[in-house]
């Protein structure tokens, strides 16, 4: 994929390894990013929900952007989370992403006040885009109502595309888990890149003309998701089935703790188990149940082999 | 009230006037704080929900704390909001409050991830208190489930009082609007200062041994709330009725926009109408309906007179 083209394919909402004192372990993060890009990901989506971005200060987030860019990772193949309840923070983070070479940002609506009006949300995004004031900017709206509790409605998308143009309002990550919503948005807004928030819908998203997926679980399943991208017909359907088995199995547990546990187990790096509060590591029973189910999954041998090579 | 005693009485969750470019208008804020303290408030609770704190960056919040302290306002009579989804931010803001002479902080739970475990919330508050590491610290937990979507449960309060002591875990602001919850917490936890989040329950809170109220609407109703504090018996009941009429009337509108509109109207300072997105000013019809109802309220003449004097 060319570094300057529009993001598409398999993206991982890259999770953040932590040090003992709750700082991001930047070298381990960069190593994980390199592994993902070498093992199935077309790109990375740092500083999202899985990346525990809202549990990090703006300074901590800026250091993540800087570390990824300084390590020479391909910033054109990233979609960086820059949303915040505070407009001033969202502007600062978005400017930093652009300055680091990444025009694509994934932006949560401000999520503290509940039931904001679409006019109020439009005012926020408009002030963000006008405040950043850079024609390179490509905004991906982040729809994750179960967590943010503030949905991105079709009416809001329409208002934003009308006021700021379909080039700037480039797409959306649909983490609702509702395929019908993704499909409706793809059909309704021409040229609007609606990513599925899960690789469970990867082949469906591609078939419907969507750009692909940005997913938490691809932190682990990227090598299998890659095979869906390169296969076709019945072979693709079969690999999608094995991929979906992995996704559905993992999401039966607290998602981010489960992903970090799997990474720690398969890569042999226990630091991966740390989480920022209020998230907590799996307890022993959960951890055991997760690994037992994972080992029984059809695609586990392929996955395990790839991840061991990374350790 | 002595400056070093425990906070009690009527507190206003002081709202923030804004400049055209979405900065806090610090001189106007200080003037409003002085007016509140001279006209009914025992203390102020800056940087809460009404103060749009989560819509401000940490730097903007630090400047508010600095402005209040530099103006010579009584920092011992404040309870400063220092919560954040990011632990590092909460630590920084809490340290700044202490450094400015305010040991009392009102702390939201981290509110991005929904349905966190009590163990996860305990880990957050424990890391905050241990990180600040100052025996003067007095934490007031902020229970506002309708907005934060993350409640403070009795089990969490119990865990925190056991781990960090009832002196440090000093109290709670109950913004649930549920008097039975306030009453239950006052009865269950000895010496635990449970403020009502509304002056509608002020006399009930005092009668039940509670410390008083920390309220959004006391930004406007403080002079009337004061009369409830100093009256007794049937006279108190009658004033409480007039106070509750005001509160219930205002909360029939979008609360923060309504309060800012009233302040702008009665003080003659139109800058008060500005809000940070996603909050929006009242539309013309709302504004008209609000002022019509307000002017018909029993205590309006007394209120209007006091606020005009402030302009």
Look over chain B and give the mean of its residue pLDDT values, rounded to a whole number.
Answer: 96
Report the gap between the CA of B132 and the closest CA in chain A (Å): 14
- Cβ contacts (< 8 Å) between B54 and chain A: which residues? 85-86, 110, 112-113
* Residue A78: per-residue pLDDT: 98
Do the beta carbons of residue B163 and residue B122 sit within 8 Å?
yes
For helices B233-250 and B255-267, the axis angle rounded to 10 degrees is 110
* Residue A311: per-residue pLDDT: 47
Please identify which residue in the block is written with the tokens 């079969």.
Answer: A238
Active site residues of A: 49, 112, 142, 173
* Residue A2: per-residue pLDDT: 39
> What parts of chain B have a pLDDT lower than 50?
1-3, 311
Q: Which residue of A has its CA nearest to B90?
A: A57
Residues 6 or more apart whose Cβ sits within 8 Å of residue B255? B50, B216, B217
Model pTM? 0.97
Please identify which residue in the block is written with the tokens 């700021």.
Answer: A164
- Say whether B112 and A279 touch across the interface (CB within 8 A): no
**In the 8-state DSSP scheme, what is residue B78?**
B
Instruction: Write out the H or E segment, with its range, that includes residue B219.
Output: helix B218-230
* Residue B310: per-residue pLDDT: 55
Measured over the CA atoms of residue A225, residue A226, residue A228 and residue A229, the dihedral's sign is positive
Do the beta carbons of residue B277 and residue A110 sit within 8 Å?
yes
Nearest to A278 among B92, B120, B278 (CB): B120
Q: Which residue of B has its CA nearest to A116?
A: B278
Helix (H, G, I), strand (E, B) or coil at B304: helix
- Cβ contacts (< 8 Å) between A57 and chain B: which residues? 58, 86, 88-89, 92
Q: Name A212's bridge partners.
A: A9
Report the gap between the CA of A118 and the closest CA in chain B (Å): 9
* Residue B311: per-residue pLDDT: 47
Q: Which of B62, B82, B85 to mutate to test the interface with A (most CBs of A within 10 A)?
A: B85
Burial A235-268 (b: 16+ CB within 10 A, else e): ebeebbebbbbbbebbbebbbbbbbbbbbbbbbe
Q: Which of B15, B21, B86, B121 to mutate to test the interface with A (most CBs of A within 10 A)?
A: B86
CA B183 from chain centre, in angstroms, equals: 19
- Say whether B278 and A124 touch across the interface (CB within 8 A): yes
| CA distances in angstroms from B303 to A70, B219, B271, B308, listed in the order given | 59, 11, 20, 9
CA B254 to CA A212: how far, in whole Å? Answer: 40
* Residue A5: per-residue pLDDT: 80
Residues 6 or more apart whose Cβ sits within 8 Å of residue A88? B22, B56, B57, B59, B60
Do the beta carbons of residue B95 and residue B66 sit within 8 Å?
no
β-strands B169-174, A80-81 pairing: unpaired
CA B35 to CA B267: how far, in whole Å? Answer: 11
Instruction: Write out the H or E segment, with its range, that includes residue B202.
Output: helix B202-207
CA B232 to CA B240: how far, in whole Å? Answer: 10
CA B51 to CA A111: how far, in whole Å? Answer: 16
* Residue A3: per-residue pLDDT: 45
* pLDDT tens for each residue of B218-231: 999 999 999 999 99
- Say whether A85 and B59 touch across the interface (CB within 8 A): no
Transcribe B83-118 into DSSP letters.
--SSHHHHHHHHHHHHHTT--EEEEPPP-SSSS--H
Interface of A with B (CB under 8 A): 22, 49, 54-60, 85-89, 92, 109-114, 116-117, 119-121, 123-124, 127, 146-149, 276-280
CA B112 to CA A111: how far, in whole Å? Answer: 8
* Residue A122: per-residue pLDDT: 98
* pLDDT tens for each residue of B136-164: 999 999 999 999 999 999 999 999 999 99
Q: Which of A57, A119, A277, A282 to mutate to test the interface with B (most CBs of B within 10 A)?
A: A277
A115: left (phi over 0), alpha (psi -120 to 50) or beta: left
* pLDDT tens for each residue of A37-49: 999 999 999 999 9
Do the beta carbons of residue A8 and residue A45 sit within 8 Å?
no
Do the beta carbons of residue B179 and residue B204 sit within 8 Å?
yes
- Cβ contacts (< 8 Å) between A112 and chain B: which residues? 49, 54-55, 111, 147-148
Pairs across A and B, CB distance < 8 A: 114
Report the gap between the CA of A60 and the closest CA in chain B (Å): 9
Rounded (to 5) percent helix, strand, coil in chain B: 55, 10, 35
Note the helical H segments in chain A: 26-38, 58-70, 87-99, 118-132, 145-148, 154-164, 179-188, 202-207, 218-230, 233-250, 255-267, 284-295, 300-310
CA quadruple A284, A289, A291, A293: dihedral, nearest 10: 180
- Say whether A92 and B57 touch across the interface (CB within 8 A): yes
Q: What tokens were used for B45? A: 């609770």
Please identify which residue in the block is written with the tokens 């300074």.
Answer: A59
Closest C-alpha among A67, A82, A76, A5 to residue A43: A76
* Residue B1: per-residue pLDDT: 38
Residues 6 or more apart whose Cβ sits within 8 Å of residue B107? B81, B82, B83, B90, B94, B125, B128, B139, B140, B141, B142
Q: Is B142 a catalytic residue?
A: yes
> What parts of chain A have a pLDDT lower than 50?
1-3, 311
Residues 6 or more apart whose Cβ sits within 8 Å of residue B231? B239
């Amino acid at each position: 994929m060319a570094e300057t083209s529009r993001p598409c394919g398999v993206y991982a909402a890259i999770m953040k390894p932590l040090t003992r004192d709750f700082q991001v372990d930047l070298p381990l993060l960069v190593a994980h990013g390199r592994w993902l890009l070498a093992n199935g990901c077309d790109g990375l989506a740092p500083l999202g929900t899985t990346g525990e971005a809202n549990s990090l200060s703006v300074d901590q987030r800026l250091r993540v952007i800087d570390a990824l860019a300084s390590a020479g990772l391909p910033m054109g193949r990233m979609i960086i989370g820059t949303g915040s309840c505070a407009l001033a923070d969202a502007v600062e983070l978005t400017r930093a992403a652009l300055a680091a070479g990444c025009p694509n940002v994934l932006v949560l609506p401000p999520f503290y006040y509940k039931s904001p009006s679409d006019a109020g949300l439009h005012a926020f995004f408009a002030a963000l885009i006008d405040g950043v004031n850079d024609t390179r900017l490509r905004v991906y709206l982040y729809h994750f109502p179960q967590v943010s509790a503030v949905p991105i409605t079709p009416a809001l998308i329409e208002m934003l595309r009308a006021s700021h143009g379909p080039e700037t309002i480039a797409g959306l990550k649909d983490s609702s888990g509702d395929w019908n919503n993704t499909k409706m948005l793809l059909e309704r807004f021409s040229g609007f890149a609606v990513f599925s928030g899960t690789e469970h819908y990867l082949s469906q998203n591609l078939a419907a003309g969507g750009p692909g997926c940005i997913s938490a679980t691809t932190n682990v399943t990227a090598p299998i998701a890659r095979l869906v991208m390169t296969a076709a017909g019945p072979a693709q359907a079969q690999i999608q089935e094995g991929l979906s088995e992995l996704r559905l199995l993992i999401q039966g547990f607290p998602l981010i703790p489960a992903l970090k546990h799997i990474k720690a187990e398969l890569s042999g790096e226990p630091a991966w188990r740390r989480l920022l509060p209020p998230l907590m590591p799996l307890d022993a029973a959960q951890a055991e149940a997760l690994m037992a189910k994972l080992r029984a999954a059809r695609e586990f041998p392929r996955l395990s082999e790839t991840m061991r090579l990374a350790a």
